[in-house]
């Protein structure tokens, strides 16, 4: 199960890729008109009220989806007019409205630019929001930069000043900008400006290896960063910009010469935001390392602590949250609503003490006395990291060494304190930190660092774990799978050359196919080999536009040859190139119905209900991700059932100590008619998250045969967050157990009838899994 039926981490990346592909087509459509050195009609004073403003284009897919872009004189930010992008709030289908303008990039090449605008929105409901965006394209329409503010969307009615900074490459061809309305509602745009503010790359720290004590110093900083950020409840901590703090902090502490020097550097960094935190050479705590507790005669002293329900990472509409609560009174109000077990409150008189490495230790109070003005004692500084001055217009980017090191520190701490599956995956997480910091220091650019982050997240063994950095890729006009220990072509589209289904790929650009696939799997986070292989096969196919793949191929009959194929497909075309299946609702044998749960809508299911009621056999296809609710299950039961166990961690202490879990699950009630047919569900390693919630009910209550192969073995709500440099990370923030309390993670749903594809079946264009299911439901 994932949030609001949810989107698994790598599937989120896939949906982003499709959106990026659509946006690229929109940008190309308007790029030819980009002749001005800057945005046209950025103040929206030109044009006719009620019409699309001059100089702007509302993308046709947006018009088709019911969006309108109009000039209006309703409460402009400046001048007499502004732009409103809207969609009827009664629309039930998801959509994205996109207003676009493209600018010639030649005047901005090699420069750092600042795009500003005022935006406000009137939206309600889950994930309805406005997003201002900027895109820079290079040669061959290569995406060089993209920021759509998805990590900081606009949902408020008051005008908000938005700013996006970007470096424009020397080969940049166009700059596109615009406003997106995701879902329904209204969004207003005004006062757009675009200016060059410096040289591209200005302020970036160049790559260099860690030397001497550098790694130990950064490990100590990383650990203290997590302890203070997530568990020390001072007002300064709550107000700090931790991204900025981390980037500045790594620059300050790396070169500390000895434990005393490191302790002094850390103390100087953290004390302004956390006055009672102490850092000292190990074994030499200062006399004030233990703060005084509340007065003994206080009847019920008030103190403040951090309460993490999962962990709040800023994702709009998330079920997860992080808040400071006032001891017993707030906790009592939270617990009945959350239905969680007793939670152990930190003691104000007993700070958390930890060895940070590098010869230093820390004392971090987890609870602070509080009065009507806030936590005591008051903090003396906000978000600025002392000792580091960020140049005006500095852009956190993976091309900057300090940003890379800070990103590792920021990401590592999220999982160190809140990942719920370390008891299952047995990762050496401290070792992963040292490896990632060492590699990040020498990564040459943001793409190389993307792989470093991917390798770090792979250490979680989490099928929802992924790292996305905006970019456009092309793909070959064929699909492949790992069948009978070989990389086998399963489907060939146009321009696939002489490839045929059943051909085994021996080498890819001279590298053995098995080795190439294994290298990609090393960068994929997954709880099972089948999920990692599924995702790695897509990654292995990616490449630059029209780049060539040299393939050594062996035909089923045994002859070998070398062929060349170009990556000629965009992401959307590639994902549409899927194995043949029956129609999404189809009669595949007399009396036997087929329903593809990854393609149908709830409306499709309701319309098919009379036919399903009369069927003698039904095959539900869940080789993928379901797009419908639990309707199929409701007609298979005659009494209420529940899904598996969901447990959201409640964390008040560092390093996953004293974690409690809030329990919940879905009830599913029966509906008429109850199907009398024999039923089978198809599945394989692509089925993850919500698909496993579905199948977990089938498995536990033995409602049908499950045919195919084991699922991905990862379930639970996704909890995404963003890192400086435009990296978006997804992971599982909830622990899911099977109905009986046994482990689901890394196990998944096992088939009752195991079936795997064969090369002979591929050549014959057979769906062997479906064939077995038909045999089962017609016996």
Joined tokens for residue 198: 């410096």
Is residue 378 domain-shared with residue 490, that is, in the same domain?
Answer: no
Phi then psi for 571, rounded to 5 degrees? -60, -45
Question: How far is the C-alpha of 523 from the C-alpha of 541, rounded, in Å?
Answer: 14
Is there a domain that residue 184 lies in? yes
> What's the confidence (pLDDT) of residue 340?
54
Q: Mean pLDDT, to the nearest integer, of 513-529? A: 98
Examine the pLDDT at 471 and tell me if it is beyond 90.
no
Joined tokens for residue 692: 């496993």
Neighbouring residues of 429: CB distance < 8 A, sequence distance ≥ 6: 412, 415, 416, 422, 459
Selection from 283-287, 369-373, 586-590 with the highest mean pLDDT: 586-590
Q: Of 538, 569, 600, which closes a domain?
A: 569
Banded pLDDT at 385 (limits 50, 70, 90): low
The domain of 223 spans 214-293+348-458
Examine the pLDDT at 174 and tell me if it is beyond 80.
yes
Question: pLDDT averaged over the chain?
Answer: 90
Examine the pLDDT at 391 and tell me if it is beyond 80.
no
Examine the pLDDT at 6 and tell me if it is beyond 80.
no
> What's the confidence (pLDDT) of residue 386?
55
Is there a domain that residue 338 lies in? no
Hey, CA dihedral for 686, 690, 696, 698, is it positive or negative?
Answer: negative
Is residue 236 domain-shared with residue 120, that is, in the same domain?
Answer: no
Is residue 646 domain-shared with residue 773, that is, in the same domain?
Answer: yes
Cα-based distances in Å from 294 to 258, 271, 304, 349:
36, 21, 12, 8
Q: What is the pLDDT of residues 699-730, one digit of tens each?
A: 999 999 999 999 999 999 999 999 999 999 99
Determine what percent of the chain is predicted with pLDDT higher than 70. 91
Neighbouring residues of 279: CB distance < 8 A, sequence distance ≥ 6: 224, 263, 266, 267, 270, 356, 360, 361, 362
> What's the confidence (pLDDT) of residue 328?
73
Is residue 142 domain-shared with residue 86, that is, in the same domain?
Answer: yes
**Residue 424 per-residue DSSP state:** H
> What's the confidence (pLDDT) of residue 370?
87
Q: Mean pLDDT, to the nearest integer, of 289-312? A: 74
Joined tokens for residue 82: 């502004």
Neighbouring residues of 310: CB distance < 8 A, sequence distance ≥ 6: 318, 319, 320, 321, 418, 648, 649, 717, 719, 733, 734
Is residue 559 domain-shared with residue 683, that is, in the same domain?
Answer: no
Phi then psi for 265, rounded to 5 degrees? -65, -45
The pTM of the whole model exceeds 0.75: yes
Is residue 628 domain-shared with residue 737, that is, in the same domain?
Answer: yes
Is residue 360 domain-shared with residue 223, that is, in the same domain?
Answer: yes
Is there a domain that residue 333 lies in? no
Query: What is residue 141's three-state secondary structure?
Result: helix
CA geometry: angle 137, 537, 507, nearest 5 deg: 100
Least confident of 61-70, 308-317, 602-611, 616-625: 308-317
Joined tokens for residue 247: 């980037």
Nearest by Cα to 449 from 203, 724, 202, 199: 724
Question: How far is the C-alpha of 1 from the C-alpha of 228, rounded, in Å?
Answer: 32
Is there a domain that residue 52 lies in? yes
> What's the confidence (pLDDT) of residue 108?
96
Q: Mean pLDDT, to the nearest integer, of 379-393? A: 63
> What's the confidence (pLDDT) of residue 12?
37
- Compute the chain's Rg from CA coordinates: 28
Is residue 56 domain-shared with residue 87, that is, in the same domain?
Answer: yes
Q: Of 155, 170, 199, which closes a domain?
A: 199
> What's the confidence (pLDDT) of residue 46?
94
> What's the confidence (pLDDT) of residue 58?
95
What are the counts of helices (DSSP H) followed by strands (DSSP E) for the chain? 19, 37
Question: How far is the C-alpha of 413 from the C-alpha of 117, rounded, in Å?
Answer: 34
Is there a domain that residue 190 lies in? yes
Banded pLDDT at 294 (limits 50, 70, 90): low
Q: What's the domain count of the chain?
A: 4
> What's the confidence (pLDDT) of residue 291?
64
> What's the confidence (pLDDT) of residue 683?
98
Question: How far is the C-alpha of 470 from the C-alpha of 711, rounded, in Å?
Answer: 28
Q: What is the pLDDT of residues 726-746, one digit of tens each?
A: 999 999 999 999 999 999 999
Cα-based distances in Å from 106 to 56, 109, 147, 172:
20, 5, 20, 7
Q: What is the pLDDT of residues 217-275, one digit of tens each?
A: 999 999 999 999 999 999 999 999 999 999 999 999 999 999 999 999 999 999 999 99
Q: What is the pLDDT of residues 108-154, one digit of tens each?
A: 999 999 999 999 999 987 678 999 999 999 887 778 899 999 888 99
Banded pLDDT at 339 (limits 50, 70, 90): low
């Amino acid at each position: 199960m994932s949030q609001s039926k949810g989107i698994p981490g790598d599937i989120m990346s896939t949906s982003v890729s499709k959106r990026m592909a659509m946006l690229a087509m929109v940008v190309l459509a308007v790029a030819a008109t980009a002749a001005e050195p800057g945005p046209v009609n950025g103040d929206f004073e030109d044009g006719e009220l009620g019409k699309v403003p001059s100089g702007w284009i509302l993308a046709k897919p947006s018009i088709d989806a019911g969006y309108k872009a109009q000039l209006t004189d309703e409460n402009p930010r400046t001048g007499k007019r502004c732009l409103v992008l809207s969609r009827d709030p009664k629309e039930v289908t998801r959509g994205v409205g996109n207003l676009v303008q493209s600018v010639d990039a030649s005047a901005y090449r090699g420069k750092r630019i600042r795009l500003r605008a005022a935006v406000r929105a009137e939206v309600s409901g889950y994930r309805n929001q406005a997003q201002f965006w900027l895109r820079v394209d290079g040669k061959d329409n290569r995406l060089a930069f993209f920021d759509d503010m998805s990590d900081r969307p606009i949902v408020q009615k008051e005008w908000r000043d938005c700013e996006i900074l970007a470096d424009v490459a020397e080969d940049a061809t166009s700059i596109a900008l615009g406003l997106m309305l995701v879902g329904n509602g209204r969004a207003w745009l005004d006062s757009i400006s675009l200016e060059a503010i410096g040289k591209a790359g200005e302020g970036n720290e160049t790559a260099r290896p860690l030397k001497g004590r550098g790694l130990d110093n950064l490990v100590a900083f990383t650990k203290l960063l997590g302890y203070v950020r997530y568990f020390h409840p001072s007002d300064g901590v709550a107000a700090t910009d931790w991204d900025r703090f981390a980037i500045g902090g790594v620059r300050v502490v790396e070169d500390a010469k000895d434990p005393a020097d490191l302790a002094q550097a850390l103390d100087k960094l953290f004390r302004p935001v956390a006055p009672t935190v102490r850092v000292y050479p190990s074994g030499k705590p200062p006399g004030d390392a233990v703060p005084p507790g509340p007065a003994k005669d206080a009847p019920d002293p008030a103190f403040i602590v951090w309460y993490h329900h999962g962990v709040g990472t800023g994702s709009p509409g998330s079920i997860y949250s992080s808040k400071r609560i006032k001891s017993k009174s707030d906790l009592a109000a939270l617990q009945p609503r959350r239905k969680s077990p007793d939670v152990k409150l930190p003691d104000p008189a007993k700070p958390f003490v930890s060895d940070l490495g590098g010869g230093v230790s820390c004392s971090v109070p987890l609870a602070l006395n509080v009065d009507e003005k806030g936590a005591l004692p008051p903090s003396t500084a906000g978000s600025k990291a002392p000792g580091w001055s960020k140049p005006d217009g500095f852009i956190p980017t993976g091309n900057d060494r300090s940003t890379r090191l800070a990103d590792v520190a920021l990401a590592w701490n999220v999982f160190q304190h809140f990942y719920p599956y370390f008891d299952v995956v047995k990762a050496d997480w401290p070792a992963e930190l040292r490896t990632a910091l060492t590699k990040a220091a020498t990564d040459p650019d943001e793409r190389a660092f993307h792989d470093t982050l991917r390798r770090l997240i792979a250490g979680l063994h989490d099928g929802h774990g992924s790292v996305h950095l905006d970019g456009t890729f092309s793909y070959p006009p064929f699909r492949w799978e790992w069948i009978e220990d070989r990389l086998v072509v399963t489907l060939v589209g146009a321009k696939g050359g002489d490839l045929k289904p059943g051909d085994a790929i021996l080498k890819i650009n001279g590298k053995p196919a098995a080795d190439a696939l294994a290298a990609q799997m090393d960068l994929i986070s997954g709880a099972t080999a089948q999920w990692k292989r599924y995702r790695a096969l897509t990654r292995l196919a990616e490449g630059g536009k029209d780049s060539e793949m040299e393939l050594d191929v062996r035909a089923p009959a045994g002859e070998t040859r070398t062929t060349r194929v170009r990556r000629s497909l965009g992401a959307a075309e590639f994902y549409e190139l899927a194995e043949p299946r029956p129609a999404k609702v189809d009669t595949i044998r007399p009396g036997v119905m087929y329903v593809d749960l990854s393609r149908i809508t709830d409306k499709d299911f309701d319309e098919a209900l009379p036919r399903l009621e009369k069927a003698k056999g039904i095959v539900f296809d869940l080789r993928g991700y379901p797009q419908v609710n639990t309707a199929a299950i409701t007609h298979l039961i005659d009494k209420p059932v529940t899904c598996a166990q969901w447990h959201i961690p409640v964390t008040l202490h560092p390093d996953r100590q004293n974690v409690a879990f809030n329990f919940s699950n879905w009830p599913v009630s029966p509906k008429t008619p109850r199907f009398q047919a024999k039923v089978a569900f198809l599945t394989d390693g692509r089925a993850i998250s919500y698909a496993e919630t579905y199948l977990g009910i089938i498995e536990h209550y033995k409602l049908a045969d499950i045919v195919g192969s084991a699922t991905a073995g990862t379930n639970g709500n996704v909890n995404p967050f963003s890192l400086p440099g435009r990296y978006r990370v997804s992971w599982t923030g909830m622990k899911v157990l099977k109905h009986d309390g046994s482990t689901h993670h890394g196990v998944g749903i096992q088939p009752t009838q195991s079936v795997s594809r064969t090369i002979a079946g591929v050549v014959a264009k057979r769906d062997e899994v479906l064939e077995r299911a038909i045999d089962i439901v017609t016996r």
